[in-house]
Amino acid sequence: MLYHGSYPTSAVHGEVEVSARSRLIIAIENYIRSRAPGYLEYLDIICKKLLGRGCADLFVDEPDKLRYILVDKLSNDIHTVYFIIKYLSLDQY
């Protein structure tokens, strides 16, 4: 799949092939935005401040670190975190 614009470009006509991992992260981000507008941006501020990476990146690569942020930084109640994950349907990916 070829993308134009905001992705890093190659020397050939400004096109770059985006990896399957990148497409997955984009799909996760778009889905969360459709379910809870503004929530991903809120979570990303916290994730990037603490770990220097976006929440969707952490979900794919290091879910334990995302869980740590959700539980220890956002809510001390594990049931609230499970509700957030279930509502955003992150358990389906």
What's the chain's average pLDDT?
Answer: 78
The whole-angstrom separation of Cα 46 and Cα 28 is 17
- Predicted pLDDT of residue 67: 85
Sign of the CA dihedral running 64, 65, 66, 69: positive
- Confidence class for position 30, pLDDT limits 50, 70, 90: very high
89/93: higher pLDDT: 89
Q: For 64-81, how does the pLDDT look when each residue is reduced to its tens digit (9 = 90+)?
A: 898 888 888 777 777 777
Q: What does each C-alpha distance from 49 to 10, 43, 54, 62, 64 come to in angstroms?
A: 30, 10, 9, 16, 17
